[in-house]
Amino acid sequence: MSTHTKSIEEELKNLYCYLEIDGDTKLTVFTKTDDGDDKSVMMCTCDGCNVFTYTLSDGNITDLVADGGFSDRNSLLDHIRSCFQSNTVKATIFDEYVITRFEKDSLSLTLKCHSTTAVERKTILQYSYLKMADELEKYKARVKELEESNNKRSFAEPSTSVITPSIFEPDVKRPKVTKPKVNKNSSIVNPGVRKKKAARGVVFDD
């Protein structure tokens, strides 16, 4: 049973991630198809002004597989794509180059990206700018589509008013509390005992 060999261009096309180093330095790492060659991909690391690149191709991928301890080229390509998707790409900047690392699940791939000429830099920055603008428009269109769908759903669904639970509670008939009739001749403290007549004084004749 033969194993399908994955295309570098197909597997690593249009990948992008944003890095923030020490809170000051910000980088973007992205892939760009090498012009005129669909069997290679340019790995680009950019700080906004300078661009550093490494071209990943069928010619050097075998060495990268061996150096990184990957089982085969498919495993290496899956690892790179997974690092982009999980944003586990790291980079260290030097004067003339950048070390870009793809680290995840105990596997690591290190690429030494070299500086570019002014013409190359212009082409890559233009590509990056237009690509991000295109992606932004797609996101905006998607958000608008979701908002319109949500509005239609809101109008279609009947409104539900909030009803307090007490409306659903049955009326509970409480027993009437009647005060016992108190005989006017009975004691207030002990109702069962009749009041004693008040003592009357004896009138003596002079």
* Per-residue pLDDT at 181: 62
Average pLDDT over residues 162-187: 53
Query: Among the listed ranges 81-90, 111-120, 185-194, which one has the minimum average pLDDT value?
Result: 185-194
Bridge partners, 115 (sequence order)? 52
* Per-residue pLDDT at 15: 92
Rounded Cα distance, 111 and 43, in Å: 9
Distances (CA, A) of 180 to 173, 177, 188, 189: 21, 9, 12, 13
172 has pLDDT over 80? no
Query: Among the listed ranges 3-12, 84-93, 112-121, 186-195, which one has the minimum average pLDDT value?
Result: 186-195
% the chain with pLDDT above 70: 70
166 has pLDDT over 70? no
Q: Which residue has the higher pLDDT, 34 or 48?
A: 48
Rounded Cα distance, 46 and 28, in Å: 5
17 has pLDDT over 80? yes
Judge whether 52 and 44 are in contact, CB under 8 Å.
yes
Question: How crowded is residue 102: how many other Cβ atoms within 10 Å of its Cβ?
Answer: 22
* Per-residue pLDDT at 3: 60
* Per-residue pLDDT at 169: 46
Q: Which CATH number fits domain 8-135: 3.30.465.10, 2.130.10.10, 2.170.210.10, 3.40.120.10?
A: 2.170.210.10
Judge whether 53 and 124 are in contact, CB under 8 Å.
yes
Q: Which residue has the higher pLDDT, 17 or 132?
A: 17
pLDDT tens string 68-112: 899 999 999 999 999 999 999 999 999 899 999 999 988 999 999
* Per-residue pLDDT at 164: 47
All structural domains of the chain with their residue ranges = 8-135
21 has pLDDT over 60? yes
